[in-house]
Every structure is written in structure tokens, then in C-alpha cells.
Amino acid sequence: MATDFTEETAAAAVIASLADTPDPRLRELLSGLVKHLHAFARETEPTIAEWEYAIDFLTRTGQKCDDERQEFILLSDVLGISMLVETINNRKHGKATESTVLGPFHVVESPRRELGDSIDFVGTGQPCVVRGRVLTAAGAPGLPGLPGLPVPGAELDVWQANDQGFYDVQQPGMQPRANGRGLFTAGADGAFWFRTIVPSYYPIPTDGPVGDLLNATKRHPYRPAHIHFIVSAPSHRTLTTHIFVAGSQYIESDAVFAVKKSLIADFTLTDDADLAARYGLNGPFFLIDFDFILLS
Ligand SMILES: [Fe+2]
């Protein structure tokens, strides 16, 4: 252990202290963290007051968290780290559907629902039907490179904001519990469909330290309209992603950097009365077709 602490030797001394960490991956992660944190401090030379502010900021970030509020995920999101880690871990593979961030609102278990059920229990938004298939990116036997076989037994965990841009957990007493949430099992042919309403764009919560950060940097807090999905199936990699509403405000400036072009879908207004009747609706509605293609 070094006894002559200097700006130049500090990082090496701390990294050396980690040499006996039994878990090599933990040693690698901690060593990298120390190396870059020290480089950050040497480069920016924070004052004691600034460092104390940083400690207080992180303290307040933790204190803002509870069972239904996750300020650390928000912080990771607005700094682009959530999206970077997600992208590193899910590099684009052929035709597989791209992933995006989990976000901070997957905080309650989605209730199991039947195909065709509605996840909207308020009824003030524009009705819409989401339909598609869950397919495998793997080629058919003997036909490598031909994705498209249905994945039997796929599950789709869905959650979204309402037409005012709020999740159920943000409006207890105003929205029924689990409004905008559902856990669906696709059919044997991979097909799924459910009813909902077109979600609105929304601001991420700004009444905590992350809001202070956005304010101080003159950044807006908005996310373009989207529906969240976690799609899972036996023998396939679980996919965490969104469907973004094409044309939504803020699609070019998502506060958490989560938009990928392949995830933007047209929500098409249809006034086909027969189709509406088939889906248990009356009047015009929006229709979204989106297939999820999973890696095996
Ligand atoms: Fe969201």
C-alpha cells in the first residue's frame, strides 16, 4: 500500500489494493471504475464543495427511491448509460428486434390477461389495437437464415402510460391499479393482440434530483409516446423493448436516448366497422402491427 499519496500514483495504489479480489470480474469492474473516476477527478479538478454536492446529490437520489419510484434508474437513463449498457448487451443480430431501456415504471407485476383483453380501464383515450406475432430469428431446420417461424408459448409483458402521459403508479386513486399493464401469452402460431389506448408522450418525473439535473442543464424531460414490452419465450433471449408511436412529439429528442428507428411503428387510424366489430370496438380506432423477432 502506498504511503506517499500523489495525484499521479493514487489510481495505481487503489487498483493495487484490489489485487487479491477473488472474483476476477469484480476485480476488473472495480479497477476500471477506480481508473476512470480518478481520471475524471484529475481532469475536472472538483472543489471540495463540488464533491460534497455530488455526494449529497447521490444521497438524495437514493433517498428518493421507494417501491414505486426508482430515481437511480432515471439518473442512469438521462445520462445515457442505461441505453449504452442495453445496446452493448444486445448488439443487433440480423433481423432480431432491437432492444431498448427498461425504464423506471416496471415496478409492479403485470396482471395476467387473455388475448384480446383491454389494458385500459379508464376509457378516455383513443382506442387502439396492438397485434403481431412473436417469431424466432433462428433459421428453420435445413434453411438457415430464414427467420420467421412462430415461437410457441411466448409471453408479452406490456406496460404504458395513459393518454395524459401518466403511469398507474403515478396516479393512485385516479387510475385503477394495473391500468395500462398486462401479461399476455401468444398463441401457438405466435400471434397476439390486445386492446388499449394510444399513449401520450410524457415527462419523466422531475420532482427529484434528476429533475434538478435536467433543469440545471436546460434539458427537457420528455419521452416520445411508446408502449413497453418484455417478450420472453423458452430457449430464446428475453427482449426488453418499446414500440414508439410514429410522429410523436419528442421522437427526435427522447430524454433517455432510447429511440431506435426500427422500433417506430405507424399507429394507423381505421374506420373499418367490420374490423372494429371483430375487435369488440365501435367507431374508428388505431391499429398497430408489430412482430417481435427473438434471438434463440
Ligand atoms: Fe415509458
Q: How far, in Å, from the CA of 54 to the mean position of ligand 1?
A: 27
| Residue-level length of the chain | 296
- Centroid of ligand 1 to alpha carbon of 256 (angstroms): 10
Q: How far is the CA of 251 from the centre of ligand 1 (A)?
A: 13
Å from CA of 139 to ligand 1 middle: 32
Residue partners of 108: CB distance under 8 A and separation at least 6: 68, 168, 169, 177, 178, 181
Distance 196 CA to ligand 1 centre (A): 15
Q: How far is the CA of 86 from the centre of ligand 1 (A)?
A: 16
185 or 122: which leads in pLDDT: 185
pLDDT at site 146: 53
What percentage of the chain exceeds 70 in pLDDT? 96
How many angstroms separate the alpha carbon of residue 74 from the centre of ligand 1?
11
Contacts of 183 (CB under 8 A, 6+ apart): 109, 110, 111, 112, 113, 155, 156, 157, 158
**116 C-alpha to center of ligand 1: Å?**
22
pLDDT tens, position by position, 125-148: 999 999 999 999 876 555 555 557
Distance in Å, CA 108 to ligand 1 centroid: 14
